[in-house]
Amino acid sequence: MEFTLQILLILVCLFYGARKGGIALGLLGGIGVVLLVFVFRLPPGKPPVDVMLTIVAVVAASATLQASGGLDVMLQLAERVLRRNPRYVSILAPFSTCILTMLCGTGHVVYTMLPIIYDVAIKNGIRPERPMAASSIASQMGIMASPVSVAVVSLVAFLAKAPAGSPIIDFVTLLSISIPATLFGVLMIGIFSWFRGKDLDKDEAFQQLIADPEMRKSVYGDTTTLLDKVLSKDQWTAMWIFVGAIAVVAFLGAVTSLRPLVADKPLSMVLTIQMFMLMAGALIIIITKTNPAMIAKNEVFRSGMIAVVAVFGVAWMADTVFEANLPTIKAALADIVTTQPWTYALALLIVSKLVNSQAAAVSAMVPLALSIGVPPGYIVAFGAAAYGYYILPTYPSDLAAIQFDRSGTTRIGKYVINHSFILPGLIGVLSSCLFGYILATARALI
C-alpha cells in the first residue's frame, strides 16, 4: 500500500510540474523527496551528480557557440540546402532540423528554421504541413542521436554504472546505434510527409482562405531568409571549434588507448566529455572574443539550466522510491521486462509525455530499468521512446510550427489528439525503435 502511495506521489509531482512548465518540474521533485524522507521515512536516494555536471559542461559550450554567432553558420548552411532543392523540402527539412539538433544538442534550433521552411514550401506550392510538422518532430528526435545532448550524456553516465556482466555500451557504441536509428526514423517521417494531406490546389479550405486578397498576401508574405546575413570569420571559427571538440570526444571514445589511465582504467567518457566541452567553450571565448556576459542570456543556456534542475529533482525523487522498494519492484516487473522488453519502451514513452523532457524521462527510467534487470542493449535500442511529448500538441516547437504556418494546414484537430504531429511522431519513434532493435541485435547487445 505504501509503495502505491509513493508511486502516486511521483506521478502527481511529475504531472503538476510538467503542467506548470519550465523549472517547476525539478522543484516539484524537491517536494516529493521531502515527503518521501520525512513522511514515508525512506532513506534519501542519490542525486545524479555526474549527470548534472556533464549537462552543465555541455550546455555551457553550446550556449557559448550561440553567443559567438557560430550557430548562425549552421543555420545558413541548412537554409542553402533547402532553397537549392525546394521540391524535396518535405524530406530535406526534417533532416536539416534533426542534424542541427545533433550538432547543437538542443531542439530549440528549430525555431529559426521554421519560418524558412514555411517560406520554401508555400512559395513552391507545397502543403506547408508536410515539412513543418515533420521538421518539429525530427528536431526533437535528434536529441537521442546528439553526442552533446542532455539526454545522451545522461544515458552514457547511467550505462557506465550498469551491473557487472552486462555488455559494455560506451559512448561510441551508443551513438553507433542511436544515430542510424534516428536518421532512419526521420527518413520514414519524410517519406510519409511527402504524400500527406491534400495538395494546396485541391484543398478547398486553403483555396477559400486565399480567395481574400488580404489573406493571400498574409499567407504568402515576404521572403524570410538568413542568406543575406554576412557571417564573420569569428563565427566560422567558433563553429569549427565546437564541431572539432565533438569529433575529438567521439574519437577518444572509439580509441580508449588515447585516454590516460586512472586507477588502471581509461579515463571515463563522462569526465572526458566534461573536460572537452568546457575547453571548447573557453577556446571560443579566447579566440573569437565572444562576450561571456552574453552566454547566460541566450535560449540554449536557459533551457539547459532548466534541464539540470529537472534532472536533479526528478532523478533524486525517483531514485529515493526505487532504491527503497527495489525487491518489490523486481518481483513485480522482472519477469515482464525479461519476456516482454518492449514494455520498457512503452513505460519510457509514457513517462516522457508526463515530464515533457527526454533527459528527465531517461533520468527517471534508466536507473530503474538497469536495477530490475533490463539488458542495456534494450535500453539503447529503444532510446527513441524517450520522445513521447508529441502525443499532445503542447510542446513549444509544435506550437511554434502551428504559429509560423500562416496557411493553416499545420493545426490542432477538432478532437485535439488528431493534430498534425501525432502521425509523424508515431512513425518516427516506432521506426527508430525497430531499427535500433535490429542494430543492437546485430551487435550482439541483445
Q: Which three cell numbers stand for residue 5?
A: 502511495
CA distance linking residue 276 with residue 55, whole number of Å: 13
Q: Is 433 exposed, middle or buried (0-12, 13-18, 19+ CB in 10 A)?
A: buried
* pLDDT number for residue 402: 87
Q: Which three cell numbers stand for residue 53?
A: 555536471
Q: Is 406 exposed, middle or buried (0-12, 13-18, 19+ CB in 10 A)?
A: middle
* pLDDT number for residue 31: 93
Residues 6+ apart with CB under 8 A from 178: 144, 145, 152, 380, 383, 384, 436
Q: Are strands 265-266 and 261-262 parallel, antiparallel or unpaired?
A: antiparallel
Gyration radius from the chain CA atoms? 22
Can you give the pLDDT of all 446 residues of the chain as single tens digits? 788 898 888 888 877 876 776 688 789 889 999 999 999 999 998 887 877 887 788 889 988 998 999 988 988 999 999 999 999 999 999 999 999 899 888 787 788 788 899 999 998 999 999 999 999 999 999 999 998 887 898 898 888 887 777 777 888 899 999 999 999 999 999 999 999 999 999 999 899 999 988 889 888 887 777 788 888 999 999 999 998 998 888 788 778 788 898 888 888 777 888 899 999 999 999 999 899 999 988 877 887 788 788 878 887 888 888 778 877 776 666 677 777 888 889 888 988 887 778 888 888 888 888 888 888 999 999 999 999 989 877 677 888 888 888 898 998 877 778 889 999 999 999 999 999 999 999 988 87
* Residue owning grid cell 568546457: 278
Q: Which helix H or strand E contains 38, and what residues bound it?
A: helix 24-38
Domain boundaries, the chain: 2-442
CA angle at residue 252 from 251 to 254, to 5 degrees?
65
- Is residue 227 within 8 Å of 83, Cβ to Cβ? yes
How far the first Cα of the chain sits from its last, in Å, is: 35
* pLDDT number for residue 309: 85
Residues 6+ apart with CB under 8 A from 311: 26, 48, 51, 52, 55, 150, 154, 359, 360, 363
Residues 6+ apart with CB under 8 A from 14: 25, 28, 314, 351, 354, 355, 364
* pLDDT number for residue 21: 66
H-only helix segments in 289-325 = 299-324
What does 175-216 look like in DSSP terms, one character per residue?
HHHHHHHHHHHHHHHHHHHHH-S--GGG-HHHHHHHTSHHHH
Q: Which three cell numbers stand for residue 217?
A: 498576401
Find residue 262's DSSP bridge partners: 265
* pLDDT number for residue 334: 65
CA distance linking residue 394 with residue 412, whole number of Å: 10
- Is residue 14 within 8 Å of 25, Cβ to Cβ? yes
DSSP assignment, residue 69?
A: T
Q: Count CB atoms within 10 A of the CB of residue 189.
A: 31
Verdict on whether the full-model pTM lies above 0.85: no
CA distance linking residue 320 with residue 44, whole number of Å: 5
